[in-house]
Protein backbone atom coordinates (compact mmCIF):
# COMPACT_ATOMS: atom_id res chain seq x y z
CA UNK A 1 0.00 0.00 0.00
CA UNK A 2 1.27 3.41 -0.86
CA UNK A 3 0.34 6.55 0.93
CA UNK A 4 0.41 9.93 -0.68
CA UNK A 5 -1.13 13.15 0.29
CA UNK A 6 -1.99 16.15 -1.75
CA UNK A 7 -3.36 19.48 -0.77
CA UNK A 8 -3.59 23.02 -1.78
CA UNK A 9 -0.14 23.78 -3.10
CA UNK A 10 2.72 25.94 -1.81
CA UNK A 11 1.92 28.72 -4.23
CA UNK A 12 -1.70 28.88 -3.18
CA UNK A 13 -0.83 28.83 0.50
CA UNK A 14 1.72 31.59 -0.02
CA UNK A 15 -0.79 33.67 -1.95
CA UNK A 16 -3.28 33.29 0.84
CA UNK A 17 -0.66 34.28 3.38
CA UNK A 18 0.15 37.38 1.33
CA UNK A 19 -3.53 38.29 1.42
CA UNK A 20 -3.54 37.97 5.21
CA UNK A 21 -5.46 34.70 5.38
CA UNK A 22 -5.03 33.55 8.98
CA UNK A 23 -6.34 30.07 8.17
CA UNK A 24 -3.37 29.59 5.88
CA UNK A 25 -1.06 30.73 8.68
CA UNK A 26 -2.61 28.21 11.06
CA UNK A 27 -2.19 25.53 8.43
CA UNK A 28 1.49 26.34 7.99
CA UNK A 29 2.01 26.48 11.74
CA UNK A 30 0.63 23.00 12.16
CA UNK A 31 2.39 21.64 9.12
CA UNK A 32 5.91 22.67 10.04
CA UNK A 33 5.62 22.53 13.81
CA UNK A 34 7.73 19.43 14.22
CA UNK A 35 10.42 20.44 11.77
CA UNK A 36 10.91 23.91 13.21
CA UNK A 37 10.69 23.12 16.90
CA UNK A 38 13.14 20.27 16.44
CA UNK A 39 15.80 22.77 15.48
CA UNK A 40 15.58 24.46 18.87
CA UNK A 41 14.97 21.34 20.94
CA UNK A 42 18.03 19.60 19.51
CA UNK A 43 20.10 22.70 20.20
CA UNK A 44 19.64 22.88 23.96
CA UNK A 45 16.26 24.58 23.89
CA UNK A 46 13.14 23.60 25.76
CA UNK A 47 9.86 22.81 24.11
CA UNK A 48 8.45 26.17 25.26
CA UNK A 49 11.41 28.03 23.81
CA UNK A 50 11.06 26.05 20.60
CA UNK A 51 7.41 26.98 20.29
CA UNK A 52 8.17 30.63 21.03
CA UNK A 53 10.94 30.83 18.47
CA UNK A 54 8.83 29.08 15.84
CA UNK A 55 5.89 31.38 16.47
CA UNK A 56 8.13 34.45 16.29
CA UNK A 57 9.70 33.21 13.08
CA UNK A 58 6.35 32.47 11.52
CA UNK A 59 5.10 35.92 12.47
CA UNK A 60 8.18 37.52 10.88
CA UNK A 61 7.44 35.54 7.73
CA UNK A 62 3.77 36.51 7.90
CA UNK A 63 4.55 40.20 8.31
CA UNK A 64 6.96 40.22 5.38
CA UNK A 65 4.51 38.36 3.19
CA UNK A 66 1.46 40.48 4.02
CA UNK A 67 3.39 43.72 3.58
CA UNK A 68 4.35 42.67 0.06
CA UNK A 69 8.03 42.81 0.96
CA UNK A 70 8.73 39.17 0.30
CA UNK A 71 9.57 37.60 -2.99
CA UNK A 72 9.95 33.96 -2.22
CA UNK A 73 12.80 32.28 -4.07
CA UNK A 74 12.84 29.15 -1.95
CA UNK A 75 10.27 26.96 -0.30
CA UNK A 76 8.39 28.58 2.54
CA UNK A 77 9.77 25.99 4.93
CA UNK A 78 13.35 26.86 3.95
CA UNK A 79 12.71 30.52 4.56
CA UNK A 80 10.96 30.03 7.89
CA UNK A 81 13.62 27.57 8.99
CA UNK A 82 16.35 30.13 8.38
CA UNK A 83 14.45 32.72 10.43
CA UNK A 84 14.14 30.17 13.25
CA UNK A 85 17.88 29.58 13.09
CA UNK A 86 18.67 33.27 13.29
CA UNK A 87 16.25 33.91 16.12
CA UNK A 88 17.53 30.95 18.10
CA UNK A 89 21.16 32.00 17.61
CA UNK A 90 20.26 35.46 18.88
CA UNK A 91 18.47 33.99 21.86
CA UNK A 92 21.44 31.76 22.67
CA UNK A 93 23.76 34.79 22.45
CA UNK A 94 21.45 36.77 24.69
CA UNK A 95 21.39 34.00 27.27
CA UNK A 96 25.16 33.75 27.15
CA UNK A 97 25.55 37.48 27.66
CA UNK A 98 23.08 37.45 30.51
CA UNK A 99 24.92 34.71 32.31
CA UNK A 100 28.15 36.71 32.00
CA UNK A 101 26.67 39.89 33.36
CA UNK A 102 25.86 40.88 36.88
CA UNK A 103 22.28 39.88 37.51
CA UNK A 104 21.53 43.19 39.23
CA UNK A 105 22.56 45.33 36.29
CA UNK A 106 20.96 43.07 33.72
CA UNK A 107 17.43 43.91 34.72
CA UNK A 108 16.74 47.56 35.21
CA UNK A 109 13.07 48.16 35.22
CA UNK A 110 12.13 51.31 33.36
CA UNK A 111 8.95 52.21 35.15
CA UNK A 112 8.12 55.11 32.84
CA UNK A 113 8.38 52.94 29.76
CA UNK A 114 6.23 50.22 31.23
CA UNK A 115 3.67 52.80 32.33
CA UNK A 116 3.55 54.18 28.78
CA UNK A 117 3.10 50.68 27.41
CA UNK A 118 0.28 50.01 29.85
CA UNK A 119 -1.47 53.23 28.84
CA UNK A 120 -1.07 52.50 25.14
CA UNK A 121 -2.37 48.96 25.49
CA UNK A 122 -5.35 50.30 27.43
CA UNK A 123 -6.10 52.83 24.70
CA UNK A 124 -5.96 50.16 22.00
CA UNK A 125 -8.34 48.05 24.05
CA UNK A 126 -10.82 50.89 24.11
CA UNK A 127 -11.13 50.83 20.33
CA UNK A 128 -13.84 48.79 18.67
CA UNK A 129 -12.87 45.47 17.09
CA UNK A 130 -13.02 46.79 13.53
CA UNK A 131 -10.90 49.81 14.41
CA UNK A 132 -8.32 47.59 16.06
CA UNK A 133 -8.19 45.33 13.05
CA UNK A 134 -7.91 48.16 10.55
CA UNK A 135 -5.02 49.72 12.45
CA UNK A 136 -3.23 46.45 13.08
CA UNK A 137 -3.53 45.38 9.45
CA UNK A 138 -2.29 48.80 8.40
CA UNK A 139 0.62 49.17 10.82
CA UNK A 140 1.69 45.58 11.42
CA UNK A 141 0.73 43.57 8.37
CA UNK A 142 1.19 46.73 6.28
CA UNK A 143 -1.55 45.47 4.06
CA UNK A 144 -2.74 47.54 1.13
CA UNK A 145 -6.03 49.40 1.54
CA UNK A 146 -7.43 47.11 -1.14
CA UNK A 147 -6.57 44.01 0.91
CA UNK A 148 -7.87 45.60 4.11
CA UNK A 149 -11.14 46.47 2.38
CA UNK A 150 -11.51 42.91 1.07
CA UNK A 151 -10.61 41.30 4.38
CA UNK A 152 -12.96 43.41 6.44
CA UNK A 153 -15.73 43.51 3.87
CA UNK A 154 -15.62 47.26 3.21
CA UNK A 155 -17.27 48.52 0.05
CA UNK A 156 -14.04 49.84 -1.43
CA UNK A 157 -10.58 51.19 -0.65
CA UNK A 158 -11.92 54.67 0.06
CA UNK A 159 -14.06 53.25 2.86
CA UNK A 160 -11.00 51.49 4.24
CA UNK A 161 -8.95 54.70 4.06
CA UNK A 162 -11.64 56.71 5.84
CA UNK A 163 -12.02 54.06 8.50
CA UNK A 164 -8.29 53.94 9.08
CA UNK A 165 -8.12 57.72 9.34
CA UNK A 166 -10.96 57.92 11.86
CA UNK A 167 -9.69 55.02 13.95
CA UNK A 168 -6.18 56.44 14.10
CA UNK A 169 -7.51 59.83 15.06
CA UNK A 170 -9.55 58.27 17.84
CA UNK A 171 -6.54 56.33 19.12
CA UNK A 172 -4.34 59.44 19.01
CA UNK A 173 -6.92 61.36 21.03
CA UNK A 174 -7.17 58.62 23.62
CA UNK A 175 -3.39 58.36 23.93
CA UNK A 176 -2.79 62.09 24.11
CA UNK A 177 -5.45 62.55 26.76
CA UNK A 178 -3.79 59.88 28.89
CA UNK A 179 -0.29 61.16 28.16
CA UNK A 180 -1.29 64.69 29.21
CA UNK A 181 -2.55 63.37 32.50
CA UNK A 182 0.77 61.64 33.12
CA UNK A 183 2.90 64.48 31.71
CA UNK A 184 4.28 62.11 29.09
CA UNK A 185 3.93 64.62 26.30
CA UNK A 186 6.95 66.68 27.28
CA UNK B 1 0.98 71.11 16.17
CA UNK B 2 1.86 69.07 13.10
CA UNK B 3 -0.13 69.65 9.94
CA UNK B 4 -2.21 66.93 8.28
CA UNK B 5 0.39 66.65 5.54
CA UNK B 6 3.18 66.25 8.08
CA UNK B 7 1.21 63.61 9.92
CA UNK B 8 0.71 61.73 6.67
CA UNK B 9 4.42 61.88 5.95
CA UNK B 10 5.15 60.83 9.50
CA UNK B 11 2.85 57.85 9.03
CA UNK B 12 4.64 56.80 5.86
CA UNK B 13 7.99 57.40 7.53
CA UNK B 14 7.12 55.13 10.45
CA UNK B 15 5.86 52.45 8.07
CA UNK B 16 9.03 52.82 6.04
CA UNK B 17 7.07 53.66 2.93
CA UNK B 18 8.97 56.78 1.90
CA UNK B 19 11.41 56.66 -0.97
CA UNK B 20 15.04 57.55 -0.24
CA UNK B 21 14.64 61.13 -1.42
CA UNK B 22 11.40 61.80 0.48
CA UNK B 23 12.85 60.15 3.53
CA UNK B 24 15.91 62.36 3.73
CA UNK B 25 13.78 65.43 3.00
CA UNK B 26 11.45 64.50 5.85
CA UNK B 27 14.34 63.83 8.20
CA UNK B 28 15.65 67.30 7.39
CA UNK B 29 12.31 68.85 8.34
CA UNK B 30 12.22 66.70 11.44
CA UNK B 31 15.64 67.88 12.60
CA UNK B 32 14.51 71.48 12.59
CA UNK B 33 11.08 71.04 14.12
CA UNK B 34 10.96 70.23 17.84
CA UNK B 35 7.14 69.94 17.76
CA UNK B 36 7.30 67.38 14.97
CA UNK B 37 9.99 65.45 16.84
CA UNK B 38 7.71 65.24 19.86
CA UNK B 39 4.84 64.10 17.66
CA UNK B 40 7.07 61.49 16.09
CA UNK B 41 8.04 60.09 19.48
CA UNK B 42 4.38 59.70 20.41
CA UNK B 43 3.46 58.22 17.04
CA UNK B 44 6.37 55.82 17.21
CA UNK B 45 5.13 54.56 20.56
CA UNK B 46 1.56 54.24 19.29
CA UNK B 47 2.64 52.30 16.21
CA UNK B 48 4.97 50.06 18.23
CA UNK B 49 2.18 49.38 20.63
CA UNK B 50 -0.21 48.45 17.83
CA UNK B 51 2.41 46.11 16.41
CA UNK B 52 3.05 44.47 19.78
CA UNK B 53 -0.67 44.03 20.32
CA UNK B 54 -1.00 42.36 16.93
CA UNK B 55 1.96 40.05 17.58
CA UNK B 56 0.38 39.04 20.89
CA UNK B 57 -2.91 38.41 19.09
CA UNK B 58 -1.25 36.25 16.43
CA UNK B 59 0.66 34.29 19.05
CA UNK B 60 -2.53 33.69 20.94
CA UNK B 61 -4.13 32.48 17.74
CA UNK B 62 -1.23 30.09 17.07
CA UNK B 63 -1.33 28.81 20.63
CA UNK B 64 -4.90 27.73 20.01
CA UNK B 65 -3.97 25.69 16.94
CA UNK B 66 -4.04 22.01 17.90
CA UNK B 67 -0.72 20.33 17.37
CA UNK B 68 -1.60 16.73 16.70
CA UNK B 69 1.83 15.21 16.93
CA UNK B 70 4.47 16.71 19.13
CA UNK B 71 8.12 16.02 18.44
CA UNK B 72 9.41 12.75 19.81
CA UNK B 73 12.73 14.29 20.83
CA UNK B 74 13.66 14.10 24.42
CA UNK B 75 12.22 10.65 24.85
CA UNK B 76 15.65 9.10 24.67
CA UNK B 77 14.88 7.02 21.59
CA UNK B 78 17.79 6.40 19.29
CA UNK B 79 17.54 7.28 15.62
CA UNK B 80 17.41 3.60 14.71
CA UNK B 81 14.72 2.97 17.28
CA UNK B 82 12.70 5.87 15.97
CA UNK B 83 13.00 4.65 12.39
CA UNK B 84 12.01 1.18 13.50
CA UNK B 85 9.10 2.52 15.49
CA UNK B 86 8.01 4.55 12.51
CA UNK B 87 8.14 1.51 10.29
CA UNK B 88 6.12 -0.52 12.74
CA UNK B 89 3.62 2.29 12.96
CA UNK B 90 3.46 2.54 9.16
CA UNK B 91 2.93 -1.20 8.94
CA UNK B 92 0.24 -1.21 11.57
CA UNK B 93 -1.60 1.74 10.14
CA UNK B 94 -1.25 0.47 6.61
CA UNK B 95 -2.39 -2.96 7.67
CA UNK B 96 -5.30 -1.56 9.58
CA UNK B 97 -6.42 0.53 6.67
CA UNK B 98 -6.00 -2.32 4.29
CA UNK B 99 -7.99 -4.71 6.42
CA UNK B 100 -10.61 -2.09 7.04
CA UNK B 101 -11.26 -1.50 3.37
CA UNK B 102 -10.24 -4.81 1.85
CA UNK B 103 -11.44 -7.20 4.48
CA UNK B 104 -11.91 -9.96 1.94
CA UNK B 105 -8.32 -9.82 0.77
CA UNK B 106 -6.17 -11.89 3.05
CA UNK B 107 -2.95 -10.80 1.43
CA UNK B 108 -3.10 -7.73 3.61
CA UNK B 109 -1.81 -9.81 6.47
CA UNK B 110 1.72 -9.80 5.14
CA UNK B 111 1.92 -6.09 4.60
CA UNK B 112 4.47 -4.96 7.08
CA UNK B 113 6.80 -7.91 6.84
CA UNK B 114 8.02 -7.01 3.37
CA UNK B 115 8.27 -3.32 3.99
CA UNK B 116 11.59 -2.09 2.69
CA UNK B 117 13.67 0.04 4.98
CA UNK B 118 12.97 3.70 4.78
CA UNK B 119 16.03 5.80 4.32
CA UNK B 120 15.92 9.37 5.51
CA UNK B 121 15.04 11.37 2.48
CA UNK B 122 16.91 14.41 1.36
CA UNK B 123 14.84 16.26 -1.16
CA UNK B 124 15.77 19.89 -1.03
CA UNK B 125 14.23 20.54 -4.42
CA UNK B 126 11.04 22.47 -4.68
CA UNK B 127 8.09 20.19 -5.23
CA UNK B 128 5.43 22.84 -5.31
CA UNK B 129 2.63 21.47 -7.38
CA UNK B 130 -0.73 22.39 -8.74
CA UNK B 131 -3.27 19.72 -8.00
CA UNK B 132 -6.14 21.54 -9.61
CA UNK B 133 -4.72 21.20 -13.09
CA UNK B 134 -4.03 17.51 -13.18
CA UNK B 135 -6.19 14.80 -14.55
CA UNK B 136 -6.95 11.60 -12.82
CA UNK B 137 -4.22 9.05 -13.10
CA UNK B 138 -4.11 5.33 -12.64
CA UNK B 139 -3.30 4.45 -9.05
CA UNK B 140 0.41 4.66 -9.59
CA UNK B 141 1.09 6.50 -12.77
CA UNK B 142 4.06 7.49 -14.86
CA UNK B 143 4.00 10.77 -13.03
CA UNK B 144 4.32 8.95 -9.75
CA UNK B 145 7.43 7.32 -11.04
CA UNK B 146 8.92 10.62 -12.04
CA UNK B 147 7.96 12.17 -8.71
CA UNK B 148 9.67 9.35 -7.00
CA UNK B 149 12.71 9.62 -9.19
CA UNK B 150 13.27 13.08 -7.89
CA UNK B 151 13.71 11.78 -4.41
CA UNK B 152 16.69 9.85 -3.19
CA UNK B 153 14.77 6.88 -1.91
CA UNK B 154 15.56 3.83 -3.98
CA UNK B 155 12.90 1.76 -2.27
CA UNK B 156 10.29 4.20 -3.44
CA UNK B 157 11.37 3.51 -6.98
CA UNK B 158 10.94 -0.16 -6.26
CA UNK B 159 7.56 0.57 -4.93
CA UNK B 160 6.35 2.39 -7.98
CA UNK B 161 7.95 -0.15 -10.29
CA UNK B 162 6.22 -3.02 -8.61
CA UNK B 163 2.94 -1.18 -8.71
CA UNK B 164 3.39 -0.71 -12.43
CA UNK B 165 4.16 -4.29 -13.21
CA UNK B 166 1.92 -6.09 -10.80
CA UNK B 167 0.08 -5.55 -7.60
CA UNK B 168 2.12 -6.20 -4.50
CA UNK B 169 1.37 -6.25 -0.84
CA UNK B 170 4.23 -4.09 0.23
CA UNK B 171 3.54 -1.13 2.42
CA UNK B 172 5.61 1.97 2.13
CA UNK B 173 4.78 5.58 2.47
CA UNK B 174 5.59 7.03 -0.90
CA UNK B 175 6.46 10.48 -2.11
CA UNK B 176 7.35 11.61 1.36
CA UNK B 177 9.02 14.74 0.14
CA UNK B 178 10.62 15.45 3.44
CA UNK B 179 12.31 18.78 3.55
CA UNK B 180 15.75 18.40 5.01
CA UNK B 181 17.51 21.72 5.33
CA UNK B 182 20.79 19.96 5.96
CA UNK B 183 22.87 22.79 4.51
CA UNK B 184 21.36 25.31 6.85
CA UNK B 185 21.53 22.94 9.72
CA UNK B 186 25.21 22.23 9.49
CA UNK B 187 26.25 25.45 11.13
CA UNK B 188 24.13 24.96 14.16
CA UNK B 189 23.35 21.27 14.29
CA UNK B 190 25.76 18.99 12.50
CA UNK B 191 23.89 15.87 13.56
CA UNK B 192 20.60 16.74 11.97
CA UNK B 193 21.35 15.42 8.51
CA UNK B 194 21.48 11.89 9.79
CA UNK B 195 18.43 12.29 11.92
CA UNK B 196 15.78 13.17 9.47
CA UNK B 197 13.07 11.82 7.33
CA UNK B 198 10.93 9.94 9.78
CA UNK B 199 8.54 12.48 10.97
CA UNK B 200 9.43 15.95 9.87
CA UNK B 201 6.63 17.72 8.15
CA UNK B 202 7.03 17.43 4.44
CA UNK B 203 6.03 19.52 1.53
CA UNK B 204 2.74 19.13 -0.15
CA UNK B 205 2.74 16.47 -2.82
CA UNK B 206 0.55 16.15 -5.83
CA UNK B 207 -2.59 14.09 -5.52
CA UNK B 208 -3.20 11.78 -8.45
CA UNK B 209 -6.58 13.32 -9.07
CA UNK B 210 -7.63 16.79 -10.09
CA UNK B 211 -9.71 18.63 -7.57
CA UNK B 212 -12.33 21.22 -8.31
CA UNK B 213 -13.20 22.77 -4.99
CA UNK B 214 -15.64 25.35 -3.86
CA UNK B 215 -17.89 25.00 -6.86
CA UNK B 216 -21.58 25.63 -6.45
CA UNK B 217 -20.76 27.11 -3.07
CA UNK B 218 -24.12 28.80 -2.90
CA UNK B 219 -26.11 25.84 -4.05
CA UNK B 220 -28.42 25.09 -1.16
CA UNK B 221 -28.84 21.46 -2.15
CA UNK B 222 -25.16 20.54 -2.38
CA UNK B 223 -23.36 22.56 0.23
CA UNK B 224 -20.98 19.95 1.61
CA UNK B 225 -20.83 17.22 -0.98
CA UNK B 226 -18.46 15.52 -3.37
CA UNK B 227 -18.61 13.79 -6.69
CA UNK B 228 -16.24 11.90 -8.96
CA UNK B 229 -16.86 12.90 -12.52
CA UNK B 230 -14.79 13.18 -15.69
CA UNK B 231 -11.69 12.05 -13.89
CA UNK B 232 -12.02 14.82 -11.38
CA UNK B 233 -13.04 15.16 -7.79
CA UNK B 234 -15.62 17.89 -7.34
CA UNK B 235 -16.08 19.36 -3.90
CA UNK B 236 -19.36 21.18 -3.46
CA UNK B 237 -19.41 23.82 -0.78
CA UNK B 238 -17.40 26.80 0.31
CA UNK B 239 -14.08 24.99 0.41
CA UNK B 240 -12.09 28.00 -0.65
CA UNK B 241 -12.53 29.42 2.85
CA UNK B 242 -10.40 26.72 4.46
CA UNK B 243 -7.56 24.52 3.43
CA UNK B 244 -8.14 20.90 2.62
CA UNK B 245 -5.94 17.92 1.96
CA UNK B 246 -6.48 14.82 -0.06
CA UNK B 247 -4.96 11.67 1.39
CA UNK B 248 -4.44 8.79 -0.96
CA UNK B 249 -3.72 5.20 -0.11
CA UNK B 250 -2.82 2.79 -2.88
CA UNK B 251 -3.09 -0.94 -2.59
CA UNK B 252 -3.38 -3.59 -5.29
CA UNK B 253 -3.94 -0.89 -7.88
CA UNK B 254 -6.87 0.37 -5.87
CA UNK B 255 -6.94 3.83 -4.55
CA UNK B 256 -8.65 4.84 -1.34
CA UNK B 257 -9.15 8.52 -0.88
CA UNK B 258 -9.72 10.52 2.23
CA UNK B 259 -10.36 14.19 2.53
CA UNK B 260 -8.98 16.09 5.48
CA UNK B 261 -10.89 19.28 6.15
CA UNK B 262 -11.16 21.37 9.31
CA UNK B 263 -9.85 18.65 11.63
CA UNK B 264 -12.17 16.00 10.22
CA UNK B 265 -11.50 13.08 7.90
CA UNK B 266 -13.90 11.98 5.18
CA UNK B 267 -13.86 8.80 3.16
CA UNK B 268 -14.41 9.48 -0.53
CA UNK B 269 -16.20 6.70 -2.32
CA UNK B 270 -15.20 6.51 -5.98
CA UNK B 271 -17.62 3.77 -6.96
CA UNK B 272 -20.00 5.91 -8.96
CA UNK B 273 -20.60 9.41 -10.29
CA UNK B 274 -23.28 10.33 -7.79
CA UNK B 275 -23.05 13.45 -5.69
CA UNK B 276 -22.64 12.33 -2.12
CA UNK B 277 -22.72 14.17 1.14
CA UNK B 278 -19.43 14.39 3.02
CA UNK B 279 -19.77 12.63 6.33
CA UNK B 280 -16.90 12.73 8.79
CA UNK B 281 -15.36 9.44 9.85
CA UNK B 282 -16.45 8.83 13.41
CA UNK B 283 -14.53 5.64 14.18
CA UNK B 284 -11.91 6.92 16.65
CA UNK B 285 -9.41 4.19 15.75
CA UNK B 286 -9.60 5.09 12.08
CA UNK B 287 -9.37 8.80 12.80
CA UNK B 288 -6.33 8.19 14.97
CA UNK B 289 -4.62 6.20 12.22
CA UNK B 290 -5.30 8.86 9.62
CA UNK B 291 -4.13 11.52 12.02
CA UNK B 292 -0.91 9.63 12.60
CA UNK B 293 -0.35 9.25 8.88
CA UNK B 294 -0.96 12.90 8.30
CA UNK B 295 1.26 13.97 11.18
CA UNK B 296 4.07 11.70 10.06
CA UNK B 297 4.28 13.26 6.65
Going by pLDDT thresholds of 50, 70 and 90, the confidence category of residue A91 is: very high
Q: What's the confidence (pLDDT) of residue A39?
A: 94
What residues in A contact B57, CB-CB < 8 Å? Answer: 136
Beta-carbon contacts below 8 Å between A and B: 223
Report the residue of B43, B51, B54 to disrupt the A interface, i.e. the one with the largest count of A CBs within 10 Å.
B54
As for the ipTM of the complex, it is: 0.91
pLDDT tens by residue, A6-15: 556 788 899 9
The pLDDT of residue B241: 62
The pLDDT, as a whole number, for residue B191 is: 33
Assess A180–B contact: CB distance below 8 Å, yes or no.
Answer: no
Q: Is B42 within 8 Å of A11 (Cβ atoms)?
A: no
Q: Count Cβ atoms below 10 Å from residue B152 Cβ, excluding itself.
A: 14
- Residue-level pLDDT at B156: 32
Q: What's residue B93's pLDDT?
A: 52
> CA of B174, closest CA in chain A: separation in Å?
6
Give the distance from residue B203's alpha carbon to the nearest chain A alpha carbon, in angstroms: 8
- What pLDDT does residue A126 have? 95
- CA distances to A55, A145, A146, B42 from A155, rounded to whole Å, are 33, 11, 10, 32
* pLDDT score of B171: 37
Chain A contact set for B60 (CB, 8 A): none
Nearest to B229 by CA among B170, B188, B270, B267: B270
- First-to-last C-alpha distance (Å) of chain A: 72
pLDDT in the model for residue A93 = 94
pLDDT digits (tens, 9 = 90+) for A120-176: 999 999 999 999 999 999 999 999 999 999 999 999 999 999 999 999 999 999 999
Q: Which residues of chain B have pLDDT under 50?
A: 69-90, 92, 103-205
Q: What percent of the residues of chain B are helix, what percent strand, and what percent coil, each to the nearest 5?
A: 45, 15, 40
Please indicate whether, in this complex, the C-beta atoms of A10 and B191 are within 8 angstroms of each other.
no
Instruction: Indicate the domain borders of chain B.
Output: 4-63, 79-296
Whether the CB of A126 is below 8 Å from some CB of chain B: the reply is: no
Exposed, middle or buried: residue B102 (CB in 10 Å: 0-12, 13-18, 19+)? Answer: middle
List of chain B residues whose C-beta atoms are within 8 Å of the C-beta of residue A122: none
The pLDDT score that the predictor gives to residue B282 is 86
Confidence (pTM): 0.57
pLDDT classification of A3: cutoffs 50, 70, 90: low
List of domains in chain A: 10-102 (1.10.1740.10), 110-181 (1.10.10.10)
Q: Which residues of A are less than 8 Å from B172 in CB distance?
A: 1-2
Supply the pLDDT for residue A104: 54
- For the segment A15-51, what is each residue's pLDDT rounded down to a tens digit? 999 999 999 999 999 999 999 999 999 999 999 999 9
HSE-CB for B143 with a 13 A CA cutoff:
15
Q: Report the alpha-carbon distance of residue B86 to residue B69 in Å, rounded.
A: 13
Check residue A175 and give its pLDDT: 93
**What pLDDT does residue B260 have?**
83
Contact B128 A11 (CB under 8 A): yes
Res B212: pLDDT:
66
Residue A129, CA atoms < 13 Å, CB-side half-sphere: 2
Q: Does A118 touch chain B (CB under 8 A)?
A: no
Amino acid sequence: MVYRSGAVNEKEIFERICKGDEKALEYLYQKYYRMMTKLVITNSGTEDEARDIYQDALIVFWQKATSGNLILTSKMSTYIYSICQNLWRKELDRKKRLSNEEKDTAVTLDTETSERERILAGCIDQLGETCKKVLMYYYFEEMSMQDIAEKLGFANTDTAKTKKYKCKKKLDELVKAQYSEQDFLD
Amino acid sequence: MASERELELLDDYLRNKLGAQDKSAFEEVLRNDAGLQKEMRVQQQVVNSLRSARVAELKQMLNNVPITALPAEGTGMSVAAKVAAWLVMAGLVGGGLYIYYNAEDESAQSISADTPALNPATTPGDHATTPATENIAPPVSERDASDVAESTQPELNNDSKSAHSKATDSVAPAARNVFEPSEETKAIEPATASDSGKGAAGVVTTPSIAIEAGINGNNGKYNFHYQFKDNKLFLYGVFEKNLYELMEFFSNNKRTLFLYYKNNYYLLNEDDNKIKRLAPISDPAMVRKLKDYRAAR
